[in-house]
Chain A
Amino acid sequence: MRKTAIALVAAALPLAAAAQVESYNIDPYHTVPYFEIDHLGFATMRGRFDKPTGKFTIDRAAKTGTLEIVIQTATVSTGDPERDGRPRTRDEHLRSPDFFNAAEFPTMTYRATGVKFKGDDPDVIEGNLTLLGVTKPVQIKIERWKCGPDPRTQGKRYQCGGNATGVFKRSEFGMKIYLPTALADDVKLWMSFYGFRQ
């Protein structure tokens, strides 16, 4: 009897541990990666990508987590979709091999390699950005983070959401056109994100 009880407890332990890991699917409609870059030394240009996909997990007890987000490079938009008599728009130019080379590299991905916590919440994500076939480490700072029942579903769905920022040098990924003066090397990231618990 005693052995059976011990066996049951031992069998249940991994389940209890597994239960601490929460899995979330990225909400593609409210997760929006933005980027900004210095243009000609005069102004800051901003753009965004639409409908990213991915998932993340979080284990508050173990202070660990994972993240994978996939961005379709052809969705890049800077608010210049109409040609208006010009041969091509800025958004078309951004999809060309000068920048995101969307025909050859239709996606860019970010995969976390580690998550640092501040209390119970994730604070800094260490990970790798793969862009134009090059993978380099990029750190993401979670600036805002909140989890709770989704009010749009009367609490039936549980979600986490927030904002994150990061920065990388585009030259490290082989995107070197218009360096150093016309377009800066540093690309700043700002992202709103939501994930639905599975």
Chain B
Amino acid sequence: MEEFLGNPAVQGGVAPFVVGLIVVAILGRARLGGLAVVAAFAVCVHLASGLTFTPLTSLRKLVLLGLIAPVVGIAIDFVFRTGRSLTAAIAAACGALTVWVFWSVLQQKPAAEAALLGGGIAVFVAWLVGSTLELAAQPVRAGAVALMLGLGAGISAILGASALLGLYGIAIGAGAGAFLLVQMLTGRRIAAGATFTLSASLAAGLVAAAALVLAQLPWYALIVLGLIPLGARLPASDRLPVWAQAFIVSAYGLAVAVVAFVLTWRAAPPAG
């Protein structure tokens, strides 16, 4: 059993996906099916690196925010009314938190480089969160975008030299995939809300940012990954069956993600 759970394919793919399916099956009717993402992410973190928070490194801050995000999402879905101003505020807060996550690395760099890097990843995460939150009322599109954000960030991270970040990203994709698959198989839409969209976009955005700051993801791969939520705005009629719409929107996201993979693969090694 220990050997089975120690397999990276199980840690990042199989176990998160199965747990995601269980969460959607149990909590989907209670508008909490979006918790599949955080459940999948938590399982992967537990299996691959352990759920510990001391010392509070950048990766552990990433995990911490990934676990807190659905709590905020539930509050938004059940207590507050979502709107453009709230979405913008949450996106800005996520951008600021991104700087906090990587502060220990940024403060070791020259001021100009730190400002450029910190500002860049803050804008990237804020954009990703804001543009994905806007899909909160469209669970199929949100599911497809989160699936490709997770897989895109994860596979790019692996190509950028970090298998651990890769597992985190793929697990997010697995949780989103479970959320999407249940909708495709049943033909019924499951409420996504901020519970799902905030969890997936913040965690995937931080994984991609970590691959840039801590590993060797090229900065321009982030720009490409940032285009994935735009795929949900491309034509895929709501009159189509759920499975067809999910397939089409996922294909849009996959096409964008593949560009990020190629760019990361071909990236030149760092100088020195």
Q: Which residues of A contact B (CB under 8 A)?
A: 83, 87-88, 92-93, 95-98, 101, 103-104, 106, 132-134, 174, 176-182
User: Which residues in chain B, 159-179, are within 8 Å of chain A measured between CB atoms?
Assistant: 159-165
Return 24 A-B CB contacts under 8 Å, by A number: A87-B161, A87-B264, A87-B265, A88-B161, A93-B161, A93-B162, A93-B163, A95-B161, A96-B162, A97-B164, A101-B57, A101-B59, A103-B214, A103-B215, A104-B214, A133-B57, A174-B50, A174-B52, A177-B164, A178-B6, A178-B8, A180-B2, A180-B6, A181-B3
Cβ of B207 to closest chain A Cβ, rounded Å = 11
User: Which residues in chain B, 31-90, are within 8 Å of chain A measured between CB atoms?
Assistant: 48-50, 52, 55, 57-59
B210: Cβ under 8 A from any A Cβ: yes
Given A88-B216, A93-B161, 20 other A-B residues pairs in contact with their CB atoms under 8 A: A87-B160, A87-B264, A87-B267, A93-B163, A96-B214, A97-B162, A97-B164, A97-B214, A103-B215, A104-B214, A133-B55, A174-B50, A174-B52, A176-B48, A176-B50, A178-B6, A180-B2, A180-B3, A182-B6, A182-B8
- Given known A-B contacts A101-B214, A180-B2, A181-B3, A132 and B49 have beta carbons under 8 A apart: no
Cβ of B12 to closest chain A Cβ, rounded Å = 11
| Inter-chain contacts of B160 with A (CB < 8 A) | 87-88
| Inter-chain contacts of B105 with A (CB < 8 A) | 103-104
- Given known A-B contacts A83-B269, A87-B264, A92-B269, A177 and B49 have beta carbons under 8 A apart: yes
Query: B161 touches which one: A92, A104, A179, A181 (CB < 8 A)?
Result: A92
Q: Are A98 and B162 in contact (CB under 8 A)?
A: yes
| Inter-chain contacts of A177 with B (CB < 8 A) | 48-49, 163-164
Cβ of A15 to closest chain B Cβ, rounded Å = 42
* Bound complex: CA A132 to CA B2 (Å): 25
Q: Are B162 and A103 in contact (CB under 8 A)?
A: no
B236: Cβ under 8 A from any A Cβ: no
Q: Are A181 and B6 in contact (CB under 8 A)?
A: yes
The main secondary structure of chain A at its interface with chain B is loop
Number of chain B interface residues as a range: 20 to 34
Give 1 or 0 for each of B82-103: 1 = CB within 8 Å of chain A CB. 0000000000000000000000
| Inter-chain contacts of B213 with A (CB < 8 A) | 103
Q: Are A98 and B164 in contact (CB under 8 A)?
A: yes
* Bound complex: CA A103 to CA B215 (Å): 8
* Bound complex: CA A106 to CA B104 (Å): 11
Cβ of B246 to closest chain A Cβ, rounded Å = 30
For the complex of A and B, the 3 pairs showing the least CB-CB separation, nearest first, are A133-B55, A88-B161, A96-B162
* Bound complex: CA A106 to CA B108 (Å): 9
| Inter-chain contacts of B162 with A (CB < 8 A) | 93, 96-98
Q: Which residue of B lies closest to A95 (CB)?
A: B161
| Inter-chain contacts of B214 with A (CB < 8 A) | 96-97, 101, 103-104
Q: Which residue of B lies closest to A135 (CB)?
A: B55
Among A92, A97, A103, A182: residue with most chain B CB under 10 A: A97
| Inter-chain contacts of A178 with B (CB < 8 A) | 6, 8, 163
Q: Which residue of B lies closest to A86 (CB)?
A: B265
| Inter-chain contacts of A98 with B (CB < 8 A) | 162-165
| Inter-chain contacts of B164 with A (CB < 8 A) | 96-98, 177
Give 1 or 0 for each of B1-43: 1 = CB within 8 Å of chain A CB. 0110010100000000000000000000000000000000000
Give 1 or 0 for each of B237-270: 1 = CB within 8 Å of chain A CB. 0000000000000000000000000001101010
Q: Are A132 and B57 in contact (CB under 8 A)?
A: yes
| Inter-chain contacts of A88 with B (CB < 8 A) | 159-161, 216
